[in-house]
Amino acid sequence: MVLTQSTTPSVSTIKAKKDVQTELVYWEKLPGRTKVIDFRTPEGEAEYKNIDQYNETHTALIRDIRGDEASYTLEKNGFQYFKHEVTELDDWSNEKKVVDILIPKTEELVREVTGATKIITFAHRIRCFASHEAQLADNRAPAHSVHSDFTAVGAAHHVETLVTDPAELERLRQTHRVMAINIWRPLKPVRRDPLAVCDWQTVDCEDEWIKNRFIFPSSWNELGKIAHSDRHAWYYLSDQLPSEPLVFVQYDSSRTAEGGRTLAHSAFVDPNSPANCPPRESLEIKLFAFVPL
């Protein structure tokens, strides 16, 4: 991967570490490591309403990498923090400006970081643009469960829905490394519900990942849940700033033998956060990067 001066890894002044002992919500290890929920049936709707029955809460230590950011990379760990100033954005509270400016700037960042020649941004989500928590829609609140957005099968399928020309799809697959990448950027300093990421070297993709497939009337998708292991190594960046986006991999076609290398992540409750902290505000951008082989 290529790094340029404008997209250098985030490096901080060394401060006291803020490691956090907290709880994370995993899934139980299901038989066959697969759960299919078919929304075309009444049974599927009912099962989804009770999906929390598979949750398992475990204590975890989330290590603060502030001051050691350069030690963690996309290739080695599946995630990386970058120093990425966006001077064009003068109002971080204006949702339209945030989307209109940050999405193209983020696409530029990913091109420079990975060497991608083609980018397809397929989703973005602003979490917690609200003055009061009661106004927050469920799908805009931080996700407090350990998951990945794709399995290898789910990511490959999603690419097919975006590149609908079979010839072009085959050309891209033969000539490019296809990567699903998430970019998570706070819109103000993070004081509450930080995002933790699990070093993918510490996860057994054959034994711990659980495929969670959702079938809809005209489509389907498959994301990953994960069973707990004491080997998992969790990290976050304390007091993360808007200029310190987190980039992490959700699929890598060059590593299918390793399950496509999708990174587990979760928001978590920091018991040290002041009780009166306002809701977290962040922008998550999801895209596919096509890197020439």
pLDDT of residue 25: 97
* pLDDT above 70 (res 116): yes
- pLDDT band for position 8 (50/70/90)? low
pLDDT tens-digit readout, 130-176 = 444 444 344 445 578 999 999 999 999 999 999 999 999 999 999 99
The mean predicted confidence, pLDDT, of the chain is 90
Better-predicted residue by pLDDT, 259 or 62: 62
Q: Work out the average pLDDT over 238-252.
A: 97
pLDDT of residue 146: 97
pLDDT tens-digit readout, 268-287 = 999 999 888 888 889 999 99
**What does the block give as tokens for 163?**
């590149």
Distance between CA atoms of residues 220 and 222, nearest Å: 7
pLDDT of residue 44: 95
* pLDDT above 60 (res 177): yes
pLDDT of residue 102: 93
pTM: 0.90
Burial class (CB in 10 A: 0-12, 13-18, 19+), 68: middle
* pLDDT above 50 (res 2): no
pLDDT of residue 90: 82
Of the chain, the percentage scoring pLDDT greater than 90 comes to 76
pLDDT of residue 48: 94
